[in-house]
Structure 1
Amino acid sequence: MDVRAATPADLDDIVDLHTRARITYYGAGGLPLGEIVDPELAREQRDGWTAAIAAPHKHVRVAVIEGRVVGLLAMGPPHSSEVNAAQLYQIHVDPECWGRGVGSTLHGLFLRHLEAEGLAVGVLEVWERNTRARAFYTRHGWRPDGTTRPGPAAAPYLGMRLHHP
């Protein structure tokens, strides 16, 4: 597996992977397909990923196996005003590649980002019903921080924190 910085040439693969991952975890959480995928959301995703790849303060990485994007990491400054922290915006792994270490490799890049920037805290949000992601982050040392914000299907996004030595 090769992990590298995402480029605009990766945009179609990134949007496709993000869409497939969303269908899997939101679908498992009971959200109807029509609320997960629609043309307006697809445009928003494409615009968001285009901006994230171009933003100097954000970092988007792709994991590639045999020329195919199988994983995605986005990280950068926190959405909150928190200092001495970085936010793990998203990790997505192609559902066909779950259990092969792609997510853990990408998570390790986030930890290296914290170290390189001299930051002590990682923050993230995860959908309450995405039990697979919540278990993944818990295994990697993340703990709920008590914050929430509204999410789809009346299930909130939960804040989590990681204290990095």
Structure 2
Amino acid sequence: MIIRRGRVADADAIAALHERSRAAYYGDALEAENAQLDRRPMWRRLLQESDTHVFCAAEDDSLVGFLCLRWQADGTEVELHSLYVDPARFGTGIADALYEQFVAQSGDRQAHLEVWNRNERAEAFYRRHGWIPSDRIRPGPSGTAFVTWRRGA
């Protein structure tokens, strides 16, 4: 497996993997209109933003995971915007490798992310890496909140 910087040409593959992974953890909790949302424009935009960095995990020229991080304007804090793995590859170490890339990029700066409160796989992963849920929430699918987590807070 290699981890490389994402390119605009990766947007369609990233969007497809994003959709598959979301379907795996949301299941039937995701409203149809949200599940069918075309995420390709969002990924094309994110791949071009100067404060956003996308890294792709690939094997044999196939995308198996990706990471997206976004810097605050002053550079003091970073958001782990997305870390997704192809559901067929859950549990194979791809998420850990992408997370190591996040750590290499963010160093010891303050960091935050959001986790859907029914995504037990993500919660366990981030707890294992020293993240702590905060009391900051926002509405999410099926009445289940997104919870903001902080790294080592």
Taking the aligned partners of 1:32 and 1:148, their CA distance within structure 2 comes to 18
TM-score (norm 1): 0.86
**What secondary structure, in the 3-state scheme, does the structure 1 residue paired with 2:102 have?**
helix
Taking the aligned partners of 1:12 and 1:76, their CA distance within structure 2 comes to 20
Q: Hey, what does 1:98 align to over in structure 2?
A: 90
Identity %: 34
Taking the aligned partners of 2:34 and 2:57, their CA distance within structure 1 comes to 24
Taking the aligned partners of 2:75 and 2:13, their CA distance within structure 1 comes to 33
**Deviation sequence 1:57-92 (CA, Å, 0-9, x none):** 1001110011100001000125xx897210000100
- Once the two structures are TM-superposed, the CA of residue 143 in structure 1 deviates from its matched residue by 0.4
Provide the alpha-carbon RMSD of the alignment: 1.9
Taking the aligned partners of 2:140 and 2:30, their CA distance within structure 1 comes to 14
Q: Hey, what does 1:15 align to over in structure 2?
A: 15
Residue of 65, 69, 72 corresponding to 1:71: 65
Residue of 31, 35, 42 corresponding to 2:29: 31
Q: Hey, what does 2:53 align to over in structure 1?
A: 59
Asked whether the equivalents of residues 55 and 68 of structure 2 are also in contact (C-alpha less than 8 Å), the reply is: yes
**What secondary structure, in the 3-state scheme, does the structure 1 residue paired with 2:118 have?**
coil
| Uncovered stretches (5+) of structure 2, i.e. residues with no partner | none
TM-score (norm 2): 0.92
Taking the aligned partners of 1:67 and 1:9, their CA distance within structure 2 comes to 13
